[in-house]
């Protein structure tokens, strides 16, 4: 898909939502990217499609899930999912990736319940990762389960418990 046609889709999409001037909605699949130097300046963002091979050489894929039991905040659940995916690993990036940390790429695929995708701030989720150029792909998924309790002091608007799944591709 050419970039102009993506832009047209972007404009007409009825799922259009903008958070932090950063969220792009393309039909049911939202794609975000952060092209950055080490530790991520927030420059040069790109619109990409799922078909774009974001990482030519995928070394590993780490999977995780995270919840937000109270408050219906997909950002919180997504951060936990990403942490869950990466937290038990120690990678020798300098040995694995030609060019080391500066050449490392991450493609973070998140499955988020559709009705809560507007609460997802990918800038915030990006902070979970200390290194690498990050691209985000957000698709419908995850899970909503009733917690059985509405605790207003924790931000609950209802008893939906949000579960987000993450697959983190690491490569270069
Ligand atoms: C689930 O939510 C609770 C807080 O409500 C949190 O302490 C826990 O870490 C979460 N678990 C996961 C796997 O995200
Ligand atoms: C959702 O959680 C994120 C990360 O904890 C936080 O930065 C954000 O302010 C929360 N949003 C709301 C509406 O509470």
The DSSP call for residue 115 is G
What mean pLDDT is predicted for residues 14-37?
Answer: 40
Which residue out of 66, 76, 126, 155 has the highest number of ligand 2 atoms within 8 Å of its CB and is therefore the one to mutate? 76
pLDDT over 70 (residue 45): no
pTM (2 d.p.) = 0.76
* Residue 127 dihedral angles phi and psi, to the nearest 5°: -65, -15
Residue identifier of the C-alpha nearest atom 12 of ligand 1 = 66
Pick 45 or 124 by higher pLDDT: 124
pLDDT of residue 31: 56
What does the block give as tokens for 113? Answer: 């319940």
pLDDT of residue 90: 87
- 150 near 64, Cβ under 8 Å? no
Q: Work out which ligand 1 atom sits closest to the CA atom of 64.
A: 13
**What are the chain's domains?**
3-171 (3.30.1330.20)
Going from the Cα of 26 to the center of ligand 1, the distance in angstroms, rounded, reads: 30
- 116 near 162, Cβ under 8 Å? yes
Q: Which residues line ligand 1 (CB under 6 A)?
A: 66-67, 69-70, 80, 84
**133-165 tens-digit pLDDT:** 999 989 989 999 999 999 999 999 999 999 999
What mean pLDDT is predicted for residues 109-116?
Answer: 93
Residue 53 makes CB contacts below 8 A (sequence gap 6+) with none
d(CA 136, CA 124): 12
pLDDT confidence tier of residue 38, bands split at 50, 70 and 90: very low
With a 6 Å cutoff on the Cβ, whether 29 touches ligand 2 is no
């Amino acid at each position: 898909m050419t970039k102009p046609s993506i832009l047209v889709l972007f404009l007409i999409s009825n799922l259009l939502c903008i958070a932090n001037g950063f969220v792009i909605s393309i039909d049911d699949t939202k794609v975000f990217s952060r092209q950055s130097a080490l530790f991520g300046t927030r420059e040069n963002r790109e619109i990409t499609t799922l078909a774009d091979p974001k990482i030519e050489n995928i070394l590993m894929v780490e999977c995780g899930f995270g919840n937000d039991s109270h408050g219906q905040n997909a950002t919180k659940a997504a951060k936990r999912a990403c942490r869950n995916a990466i937290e038990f690993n120690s990678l020798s990036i300098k040995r694995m990736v030609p060019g080391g940390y500066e050449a490392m790429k991450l493609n973070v695929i998140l499955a988020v319940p559709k009705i809560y995708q507007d609460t997802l701030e990918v800038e915030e989720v990006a902070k979970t990762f200390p290194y690498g150029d990050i691209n985000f792909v957000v698709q419908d998924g995850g899970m909503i389960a009733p917690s059985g309790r509405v605790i207003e002091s924790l931000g609950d608007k209802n008893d939906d418990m949000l579960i987000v799944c993450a697959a983190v591709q690491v490569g270069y």
